[in-house]
Amino acid sequence: MFNKQVLTTILILTILLPLGALAQKRQVVLDRVVAIVGGSAILYSEVEEAANELVAQRRAAGYTTDRDPMNEGLEELMKQKLLYNQALIDSIELNADINSMVEDYLQRMIAEEGGSISQLETKQHMPLYNYREFLRQKLTEQQYAQSMQGSVVSDVTITPGEVERFFKNKKVDELPLVPEQYVYAHIVRYPSSQAAAKQRTKERLLEMRERIITGTSSLPVLARTYSVDPGTAMQGGEHPLAPLSQLTPPFAEALAKLKPGQLSEVVETEYGFHLIELMEAPRNGLYHFRHILLKPSYTIEEQLEPTYYLDSIVKLIRADSISFEEAALKHSEDNLSKMNGGLVSNHDLLMSNPNYSNVKLTATKFKKEDFGDGKSYSDYIALSKLKVGEVSDAFISEDVQGNQLSRAVKLLEIIPTHPASLTDDYLTIEEMALNDKQATIFNKWLSEKIDGIYVYIAPDFRKGEFEFKNWVK
């Protein structure tokens, strides 16, 4: 949706190497160094794999280029090495939990081999512990490189005048096509038994807390079994390292009070109820913790109660006994939209995430892919069956925090696919202009860094086509 940070990674590090394939090559063929950037060597096998990945990506996208993929792959690797070296010089801090990333990657690789560790070891030509260290090294380097790149452009902003000039300099065929968009309104009702459901959920967590404290179970075991947080449940509730500023305030406040190994009381946030355990003392403002998340659950009767209520309202709207706007004002429990005729925006999504709480990004137009990103896909299903001006039957849905509710929607407008325009699609054009400005600034910075760092390129690669000509010295 529009919850993407404007400070997007700007298309320079487009290659994240296929780590598994890389490891295979290195073990079975004689390798050689084809380039050195700073103190980091690049092997022929790495370049070959990067080139193969480039070709595969372009075939999948349906296009090719005249540029030699081996040379292009080498340049991308050299950029990554330079960024990694500079990140170490500048003492760039990583917010990523590399260990968790490694284990997640390993689990996916093992799953691809039918759950067989021995098959993975055979495929990679190395024991699992060696492969784990290989992954840790590669992922660490990639994360440092991305963080370094982000830091270079983190303060870049753009003015409306710059956006307008950027747009005027673009030809129509250079502008992106904006897919079909929906503008709609809704009436929202939550189960009236919400208080009772919350109490049941809190009592479940209190029982789990007692089990953890008495040693009859552990938070990781209970998280894997009961937690409804899709990002952490399978990791035993373990969350990647994060600063308090990235966490919702009640959660952050409870976490800040904990000592290593200590378990919180039950904490209520807009996402549900939590048990939190601080795993170790904070380092550089980053917290390492795990948690269990439970959401209030309802019986079938409790779920259907607000749906029946809304269906009765929909009947009145269809009979012209009340307008949709009046019904939204009187009956909707979405306090933001009810004052505006039920008009749906992404404002609630922006406000729910401290990383994206930029009010200027508020929008009322939604593409198909926007649904499910903070909105239930059921909204799109309902809208896709309506003609402009029609009102849907009531259906079960959820809010941006995943809390269950019932909803009826009215389709206000369908905006057909069209080339992006400055008036109707300002945010899209602004993002393009910002990315372009970031790329310009980054490329200038990168070129200067290339001049100041040791670079060796093997003779058989020096005559290739490089985007930055000063690689060859």
- Nearest of 141, 275, 132 to residue 201 by alpha carbon: 275
Distance, in Å, from the CA atom of 277 to the CA atom of 63, rounded to the nearest integer, reads 49
450 with 365, same domain: the answer is: no
Two structure tokens written together for 20: 């598994």
pLDDT of 162 strictly over 50: yes
pLDDT given for residue 394 in this prediction: 96
- Nearest of 212, 290, 306 to residue 251 by alpha carbon: 290
- Side by side, the strands of the sheet bearing 455-457 are 40-43, 33-37, 455-457
pLDDT given for residue 259 in this prediction: 95
362 with 437, same domain: the answer is: no
Which residue has better confidence, 125 or 21?
Answer: 125
167 assigned to some structural domain: no
234 with 311, same domain: the answer is: no
pLDDT given for residue 11 in this prediction: 34
| Range among 173-182, 251-260, 368-377 with highest mean pLDDT value | 251-260
37 with 76, same domain: the answer is: yes
Which residue has better confidence, 249 or 350?
Answer: 249
The CATH number for 311's domain is: 3.10.50.40
Tens of pLDDT, residues 29-58: 458 999 999 989 999 988 998 899 888 888
Tens of pLDDT, residues 401-412: 778 899 999 999
- Nearest of 178, 162, 168 to residue 436 by alpha carbon: 162
- Nearest of 406, 393, 352 to residue 374 by alpha carbon: 352
323 with 188, same domain: the answer is: yes
pLDDT of 365 strictly over 50: yes
Q: At what angle do helices 19-28 and 117-124 cross, to 10 degrees?
A: 60
Number of domains in the chain: 3
pLDDT given for residue 13 in this prediction: 39
357 with 466, same domain: the answer is: no
311 with 395, same domain: the answer is: yes
Q: Which residue has the tokens 């529009």?
A: 2
Across the chain, mean pLDDT equals: 87
141 with 203, same domain: the answer is: no
423 assigned to some structural domain: no
Residue type, 416: P
> What percentage of the chain exceeds 70 in pLDDT?
89
185 and 344 in contact (C-beta within 8 Å)? yes
446 assigned to some structural domain: yes
166 assigned to some structural domain: no
Two structure tokens written together for 273: 């109820």
Domain that holds residue 366: 181-192+299-418
27 with 153, same domain: the answer is: yes
Tens of pLDDT, residues 61-102: 777 788 899 999 999 999 999 999 999 999 988 777 787 788
Band of pLDDT at residue 339, cut at 50, 70 and 90: very high
C-alpha distances (whole Å) from 212 to each of 226, 276, 289 are: 14, 11, 15
Burial of 140 (0-12, 13-18, 19+ CB in 10 A): middle
